[in-house]
Amino acid sequence: MSFKRFLSVTAFTLASAATSSAFAHAKLQSSDPQTGSTLAAAPKQVRLKFNEALEPAFSKITLTGPQNNEIPVTATTVDKADPTVMTAPLPALSTGEYHIQWSTMTHDGHKAKGEVTFKVK
C-alpha cells in the first residue's frame, strides 16, 4: 500500500470514528436501585445516571409490579444541576419483583429506552 493511500485510509477511519461517536445514544451508566439487586427494604426513589444530558420533557419512568400491574410513578424529573440524572419518587412497595422502564431523549434528539429490574425481600 502506498503512503498516500495509507494516509487516505487513516483519515477516513478517524473521521468515521469521530462521526459515529457524535451520533451515539444516551446510555444508562448506573441505577439506584441497581439492576438485578435484591433489597431488604423498598427504595423510596429511582435514580438513573446517563452518559449524556437528557431532555426533561421527553424523560419518563414507569414501574411494573409483581403481578405485571403498572404502579403509578409521579414527578419524573431531570436534575437541573446534573442533566444526566433522572429521578422519580416511588410509592410504598411490598415484597416482589419490580421492573423500572425508562425512556428519554438527549439534547441532540436521539431517543433511548431500557429497563432496570430489582426485587424487594
pLDDT of amino acid 25: 80
What pTM was estimated for this model as a whole?
A: 0.79
d(CA 61, CA 99): 10
Q: Given this model, what pLDDT does residue 9 score?
A: 43
Q: Which amino acid is at 113?
A: K
pLDDT in tens, 49-106: 999 999 999 999 999 999 999 999 989 999 999 999 999 999 999 999 999 999 999 8
DSSP structure class, residue 56: G
Q: How many Cα atoms occupy the beta-carbon half-sphere of 29 within 13 Å?
A: 9
- Looking at residue 40, what DSSP letter applies? S
Q: Report residue 2's pLDDT band, with 50, 70 and 90 as the boundaries.
A: low
Contacts by 69-73, CB closer than 8 A, 24 or more apart: 71/98, 73/46
Q: If you write DSSP's letter for every residue of 65-101 in order, what string do you get? A: -TTS-EE-----EE-SS-TTEEEEE-----SEEEEEE
Q: Give the three-state DSSP class for 21.
A: helix
